[in-house]
Amino acid sequence: MTTLHAPLPPASGAWREGDPPGRRRWVALPGPLPLEAGGELPGVRIAYETWGELNADASNAVLVLHALTGDSHVTGAAEPGHPTAGWWDALIGPGRALDPRDWFIVAPNVVGGCQGSTGPSSAAPDGRPWGSRFPLVTARDTVSAEVVLADELGVASWACVVGGSMGGMRALEWAATQPERVRRLFLLASPAATSADQIGWAAPQIAAIRSDPGWRGGDYHDAPPGQGPHAGLGIARRMAHLSYRSAFELAERFGRQPQTGEDPWTGGRYAVESYLDHHAAKLVRRFDAGSYVRLTEMMNAHDVGRGRGGVAAGLALVQAETMVAGISSDRLYPLEQQAELAAHIPLAGELRVIDSPYGHDGFLIEAPTVGGLLGALLHR
């Protein structure tokens, strides 16, 4: 009997030039992108997707910003060029909160990402992948880049900017950096500034990737299949995924049960270990380790008060009508961080708490509740 094995994963799961474009379109920055950390990034382009049409007075544009391992493919099937189905599919579509019959929805892949926008896997001006040479890009830098996208699309101001987790950090920076261009703001499960605890969660993830022999100092993109930093990226994903879910959910779902057909006392796995292995294996086939490192560093650098006199002063810059929501069981970005946002953003009102057992991932899983909140904000 022949045993079939899955093909080895490519060194990077990034979208690469020559791959099917899928639904993506691109906009190129007219010049180098100046960076908060110093220097500049040349040759930047942003991959994005849209749904619906911009109306005559350009008043119906909504910007949706993805989290760490998301991309521009917010909704739609997996297809050539898009390795997975839309990550927030329940929010966009007829009768949903973001109905393309009413709204012009724009979703960019973040600069530093790996699904079409310029990032570590992209070609630098010398034609080689950026790899280890790709610089730190902050959330504030991504706003500077996305302003070019907004201008290209004819959007003088967004009817709403929406983001959860890392997307919420970027959405907040949009509203603080370009307050006149954001009329409404929807922040989900995200902080005003990344805490020591969150940087601590990130540190072993980055260390796992960088200690993988396949990392090659960050210059692995042209390595043969199976020889990228897959083990390190998989370990990072396992650690991250634990922070995305709650202890209660894991206990209810898995308990101390062994994986079917395996005995943990003789080298087998517990069911929860198999679950984490599954998510690690999926990520290494669709994501880039260099992007994971740089985007994690982007989140570590997030601080809306940097250079603005502190967090309260940074939040006071926001002029948008704002809704802040958090997940009751979120142990990565706990409710007190969303309470800080609601307390200091002038037009935020009270914090909306989404009661969910799913932890941080509740911002994606509790789609009916999230859609209801967003719909209420959009129709004020």
Spatial distance between the Cα atoms of 350 and 254, rounded to a whole number of angstroms: 35
The pLDDT, as a whole number, for residue 3 is 44
Kindly report the three-state secondary structure assignment for every residue of 129-195: ECHHHCCCCCHHHHHHHHHHHHHHHCCCCECEEEEECHHHHHHHHHHHHCHHHECEEEEECCCCECC
The pLDDT, as a whole number, for residue 2 is 43
Domain of residue 277 covers 199-295
Evaluate whether residue 340 is within a structural domain: yes
Q: If the chain, 380 residues long, is cut into consecutive pieces of 10 residues, what is the mean pLDDT of each piece?
A: 69 96 97 97 98 98 98 96 94 96 98 98 97 98 98 98 98 98 98 98 98 98 96 98 97 97 97 98 97 98 98 98 98 98 97 98 96 95
Contact indicator for 51, 100 with CB cutoff of 8 Å: yes
- Are 236 and 262 contained in the same domain? yes
Q: Residue 70 sits in a domain of what CATH number? A: 3.40.50.1820
What is the 3-state composition of the chain as percent helix, strand, coil, each rounded to the nearest 5? 40, 15, 45
Contact indicator for 354, 246 with CB cutoff of 8 Å: no
278 is catalytic: no
Amino acid at 255: G
Spatial distance between the Cα atoms of 330 and 354, rounded to a whole number of angstroms: 10
- Are 177 and 309 contained in the same domain? yes
Spatial distance between the Cα atoms of 302 and 310, rounded to a whole number of angstroms: 12
Spatial distance between the Cα atoms of 105 and 117, rounded to a whole number of angstroms: 18
Evaluate whether residue 360 is within a structural domain: yes
- Are 59 and 155 contained in the same domain? yes
**Is residue 335 classed as helix, strand or coil in its secondary structure?**
helix
Spatial distance between the Cα atoms of 153 and 295, rounded to a whole number of angstroms: 25
Choosing from 246, 356, 360, 361, the catalytic residue is 360
Spatial distance between the Cα atoms of 291 and 8, rounded to a whole number of angstroms: 20
- Are 171 and 317 contained in the same domain? yes
Contact indicator for 363, 327 with CB cutoff of 8 Å: yes
Choosing from 72, 122, 165, 190, the catalytic residue is 165
243 is catalytic: no
- Are 151 and 121 contained in the same domain? yes
- Are 178 and 50 contained in the same domain? yes
The pLDDT, as a whole number, for residue 221 is 97
Place of tokens 């979208």: 15
Query: What is the model's pTM?
Result: 0.96
Question: What's the structural domain count of the chain?
Answer: 2
Evaluate whether residue 116 is within a structural domain: yes
* Structure tokens given for 59: 């008043």
Spatial distance between the Cα atoms of 31 and 343, rounded to a whole number of angstroms: 38
Q: Which of 261, 295, 329 is the last residue of a domain?
A: 295
- Are 191 and 236 contained in the same domain? no
Choosing from 330, 344, 356, 361, the catalytic residue is 330
Evaluate whether residue 123 is within a structural domain: yes
The pLDDT, as a whole number, for residue 266 is 97
Q: Which of 265, 295, 325 is the last residue of a domain?
A: 295
330 is catalytic: yes
